[in-house]
Structure 1
Amino acid sequence: MDIKSLLAVCKQWNSVKLETTRPPFPLLMLSETLNTNLRSFFNLCDSKRYQLEISTFGGKRCWGSPHGWVVTLDPNSKAHLEHLEKGKQIILPSLNTIQTLAATEEWFLLIHKFIIFKQPSHESSFLVIAIFGPGFSLAFVRVEEGAALNRRGQDEWVLVANPDNFKFKDVACFNDQIYGLCDNGTLVRIELDAPWSAEVQVVSPHPEDVWEPQKLYLVELSGNLFGVFRYGYYYPLKRRYETVSFLVYKFNFDASSWEEVTDLEYHAVFVGDGNSWCCPTITIPSRSNSIYFTDDNWDWQMYPGGAYGGCDVGLFDMATGVIQPLPFGEDNPSSYSRPIWVTTTMRLF
């Protein structure tokens, strides 16, 4: 917020490029409001709600990232990368291959999760990974503007060979390697450029003392790789899940084992639809040692077109084990539009 205030002083100050290696503190982009191009954003730093006009998000399901980009999917199964600040769009290749393997009556359930990894070679160069279908399979595509990648997956979706039928729950980039968290916590390394085809290599089984979690996330934090395990209950009368707790484990590569972690120190972790990531909170200690989560459980769609869920949003305090709501006010999730975490350096109004 201080940086945004500085940039708003005058044109000269706004022209200064501020270098930073950490992502901006996320905003919570709330669900779509019908018949308007305005989207509401809840700012965790000042607990205020802002609005931004975005005409291209209407009628689409969205997945967030820490890069200022959002993946969108429309009812015609067309996917785009869209930049919140610049209004820029990148068309992703046709999902026909994935669509055939993940046939469903509901277009917005075609993909469980899109994850975006930004390539350092160009500001519009990305690796996009999709987790899709009843088997939670994996596919990827490389997209880049201004240069040829000449690598597997350039401008086309490539399926990752998965002979062991792992169910992928999340992926993360760590030390220039792609890792995945599967099933109940099996850690795998994904070799996208293996000689014959993209393949999966097992690194470690799931932590011994965990039971089957509701959702799993993989996060790079302070030079380590962390697994985040989310637990909750389904309430049929409410037609919704409610998260009750989290367990966090750090993977020890030297010992090839998981180690439970109870303190994230001066960091906050953000999980939900899209990328899973963390932010340092040294300047806002009240946000430290917390897991912020949105509702990404789409498994109990009650009937075609029917709105379900989307309300399981809050923070988990690692120190106390208490779930707290976020005071963002009214939100009305639809069958395809739910709150997600996004980042932007734009000054909201």
Structure 2
Amino acid sequence: MAPNWSTLPLDLLTAVAFNLESFEDFIYFSLVCRSWNRASSSIKHIWRAKPEVPWLLLVENTKDNPDCVRKMLNIDNENKCYRWNLPETFGGRCWGSPYGWVAMAKLDLSVQLFNPITKATISFPSLETLPYLPKNTPAYNNERRDYYHSCLSGFLTKLIVLKVSQNDHRHEFVIMIIYDFHRRLAFARHGDPSWTSVLIKETTSVRIFDVVAMDNHVYAIYDDAAIAYWEIKEFFGFELVKPMDYLPGDPETFNDLYIDQIKVYLIQSNTDLLMVLRSKVHVSNADNTNYDYDIVYRTNDFEIFKLNHIDKDWENVEDLGDVALFVGDNSSMSVSVADDAKCLQPSCIYFTDDESGSWLTPREFGGHDMGVFDFKTNDILRFYEGDDTRSFFCTPTWFIPQF
């Protein structure tokens, strides 16, 4: 007689589940039967995959897709693609994070954190409470939907998900928004009635490219590679105060940051703060016969710099070691590549297409600029060419799946 695996003791099943290494195996384990599901559910709040590798939430498919299915790509499992029913993510923009959550800004200007695995949500203030939101416009008064489109595409640059500590050793999530054509900065927590502007020190420029939380501080980078940083006061949960210091930029070295073809990302990698510069080129259709469009853009190079806190300058990085970076329309991530990683490569940058402006009309070809940059050889391997049946301004984004 075959053994009845569902009658195994709960403590034994829990021990087995806790030692599973991949997110897929943990999910499959929970689906076997009720007792196995009960064992996995009891530990899923503390269980983590080994290693934690980002998945790629691909673009919406609005053609012949009544169930609102979106694909999620696991690059560490031979680019295995999962189909997930996620109607909640349709009709807006998404930005991923390392914490299992995806930040969503919808066409009604509502903002939420959404977990694609558990479908849990956390609500944040409406974008209509943002300071400097341009409401006195014909689009706002007459064509509200067009106004919302404009806000989510041109007015809203990026949502960054930060995880900050509180004084009782708990954590809460904070969303920081880079918005407005001047790239201003604001933040909000769950339960806040509105978004709060962040005070910034006067500089040669106030345009902010990216934000990251690290070592009880929040760092913001400007378009001249200048850094401002604030202390997170744990006693108050999360409070931004005046910048404790300011690292001047280097216009002579970083003057190309003003050019649209340069993307800038801030990333915490172990104890280092990295600035990643991504350069793009535009190529004609004559060189790309697979496309029906006259001009397409391609990422062609990356540069990495490490912040030297003592000398207050940027140092060039020539090798990432056993680290892989993930950049795109998300909170940028750094992952240590374990020896048992299946397909993840060290000293590489995995990048997705984050040109939201290229998705504004059906004639534009967005979503194609995705690949892996090998920092040792400077070679780029394209791993996904995008899906042109996407909806308005939808871009692919990295997130690390968690319960």
Give the TM-score band, short-chain normalised. Answer: 0.7 to 0.9
Q: Secondary structure of the equivalent of 2:22?
A: helix
Match of 2:299 among 239, 243, 249: 243
Q: Secondary structure of the equivalent of 2:366?
A: coil
Q: Secondary structure of the equivalent of 1:243?
A: strand
Distance 1:287 1:142, change over 3 A: same
Query: In the alignment, residue 204 of structure 1 is paired with which amino acid?
Result: P
Confirm or deny that 1:49 pairs with 2:81: yes
Q: Secondary structure of the equivalent of 1:45?
A: helix
Match of 1:292 among 320, 339, 350: 350
Q: Provide structure 1 residue ranges, at least 5 long, that are not aligned to the other structure.
A: 145-153
**1:311-326 matches, cutoff 5 A:** 311-326=368-383
Contact 1:309 1:333 in 2 (8 A): no
Q: Which residue of 1 aligns with 2:28?
A: 8
1:198: Cα distance to partner?
4.9
Deviations, residues 145-186 of structure 1 (Å, cap 9, x unaligned): xxxxxxxxx443111234444111101111110001111322
Query: In the alignment, residue 212 of structure 1 is paired with which amino acid?
Result: D
Q: Secondary structure of the equivalent of 1:335?
A: coil
Contact 2:21 2:51 in 1 (8 A): no
Root-mean-square deviation over aligned CA pairs? 3.1
Q: Distance in 2 between matches of 1:206 and 1:102?
A: 32
Q: Which residue of 2 aligns with 1:273?
A: 329
Greater C-alpha radius of gyration: 2
The percent of aligned pairs where both chains have the same amino acid is: 26
Confirm or deny that 1:106 pairs with 2:150: yes
Match of 1:25 among 53, 66, 81: 53
**1:215-226 matches, cutoff 5 A:** 215-226=263-274
**1:129-140 matches, cutoff 5 A:** 129-140=176-187
Q: Which residue of 1 aligns with 2:12?
A: none
Structure whose residues are more often helix by fraction: 2
Distance 1:79 1:345, change over 3 A: closer
Structure whose residues are more often strand by fraction: 1
Confirm or deny that 1:118 pairs with 2:146: no
Q: Provide structure 2 residue ranges, at least 5 long, that are not aligned to the other structure.
A: 1-19, 136-146, 285-292
Q: Which residue of 1 aligns with 2:194?
A: 156
1:230: Cα distance to partner?
0.7
1:202: Cα distance to partner?
2.2
Deviations, residues 109-140 of structure 1 (Å, cap 9, x unaligned): 23110011123448772111000011111001
Q: Distance in 2 between matches of 1:245 and 1:183?
A: 18
Q: Secondary structure of the equivalent of 2:130?
A: helix
Confirm or deny that 1:127 pairs with 2:155: no
Confirm or deny that 1:181 pairs with 2:221: yes
Q: Distance in 1 between matches of 2:180 and 2:282?
A: 22
Q: Distance in 1 between matches of 2:298 and 2:134?
A: 27
1:74: Cα distance to partner?
1.4
1:300: Cα distance to partner?
5.8
**1:73-92 matches, cutoff 5 A:** 73-92=105-124
Q: Which residue of 1 aligns with 2:246?
A: 202
Please identify, of 72-81 and 119-128, the stretch whose mean Cα deviation from structure 2 is larger.
Answer: 119-128
Please identify, of 203-212 and 258-267, the stretch whose mean Cα deviation from structure 2 is larger.
Answer: 203-212
Q: Secondary structure of the equivalent of 1:106?
A: helix
TM-score, normalising length: structure 1: 0.84
**1:301-312 matches, cutoff 5 A:** 307-312=364-369
Q: Distance in 2 between matches of 1:118 and 1:333?
A: 30
Contact 1:180 1:188 in 2 (8 A): yes
Distance 1:199 1:308, change over 3 A: farther
Distance 1:180 1:250, change over 3 A: same
1:266: Cα distance to partner?
0.7
1:288: Cα distance to partner?
0.6
TM-score, normalising length: structure 2: 0.74
Distance 1:36 1:336, change over 3 A: farther
Q: Distance in 2 between matches of 1:197 and 1:218?
A: 19
Contact 1:169 1:217 in 2 (8 A): yes
For these two proteins, the number of residue pairs brought into alignment is 335
